[in-house]
Amino acid sequence: MGETPVVAILMGSQSDWPVLQGAAEVLQHFSVPHEKAIVSAHRTPEKLRHYALSAAERGIKVLIAGAGGAAHLPGMLAAYTPLPVLGVPVETRTLRGVDSLLSIVQMPYGVPVGCLAIGEAGARNAALLAVSILSLENPELAELLREFRSTQTQRVLDQTI
Binding residues for substrate: 13, 16, 43
Residue 34: CB atoms within 10 A of its CB come to 20
- Does residue 16 interact with ligand RP5 by CB under 6 A? yes
Among the listed residues 24, 27, 67, 116, the single contact to ligand RP5 using CB under 6 A: 67
- Does residue 85 interact with ligand RP5 by CB under 6 A? no
Closest-by-Cβ residue to ligand RP5 is 12
End-to-end CA distance of the chain: 41
Residues in the chain: 161
- Minimum Å gap between C-beta 96 and ligand RP5 is 13
Residue 79: CB atoms within 10 A of its CB come to 17
Q: How far apart are CA 72 and CA 76, in angstroms?
A: 6
Residue 87's closest CA among 76, 109, 131? 76
Nearer Cβ to ligand RP5, position 96 or 149? 96
Nearer Cβ to ligand RP5, position 16 or 30? 16
Measured CA angle at 142 (ends 139, 146), to 5 deg = 140
Among the listed residues 4, 15, 150, 154, the single contact to ligand RP5 using CB under 6 A: 15
Binding site for ligand RP5 (CB under 6 A): 12-13, 15-16, 40, 67-69, 90
